């Protein structure tokens, strides 16, 4: 796995130390997750990015999000920014 950034849309979290990270970054939000602010760059209501661990498997791109339970989701390669 490689460290990377994932493009996302940011919303206000339930607590002051978190964001709601929505994926994909544009259009209708298909998935959303609570993520601590320390892993996110950007501001509420705008496109931002979240730190992830990225893996390519059989031509698909998967990321591990820095959530409490380390959610794994399939993403588009164009939304991944290598670090």
Chain-centroid distance of CA 2 in Å reads 14
Q: Give the span between the Cα atoms of 49 and 39, in whole angstroms.
A: 9
pLDDT computed for residue 27 by the predictor? 87
Whole-structure pTM value: 0.94
Q: What are phi and psi of 36, to 5 degrees?
A: -60, 140
DSSP, res 1: -
- Helix (H, G, I), strand (E, B), or coil: what is residue 79? helix
- Average pLDDT score, the chain: 96
Name the token pair of 3.
């460290």
Q: How confident is the model at residue 11 (pLDDT cuts 50, 70, 90)?
A: very high
Which residue segment(s) compose the domain that 54 sits in?
A: 2-82
pLDDT in tens, 41-62: 999 999 999 999 999 999 999 9
Number of domains in the chain: 1
Q: What percent of the chain has pLDDT over 70?
A: 100
């Amino acid at each position: 796995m490689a460290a990377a950034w994932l493009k996302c849309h940011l919303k206000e979290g339930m607590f002051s130390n978190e964001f709601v990270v929505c994926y994909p970054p544009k259009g209708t939000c298909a998935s959303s997750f609570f993520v601590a602010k320390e892993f996110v760059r950007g501001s509420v209501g705008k496109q931002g990015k979240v730190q992830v661990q990225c893996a390519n498997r059989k031509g698909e791109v998967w990321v591990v999000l820095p959530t409490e339970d380390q959610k794994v989701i399939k993403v588009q390669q164009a939304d991944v920014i290598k670090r």
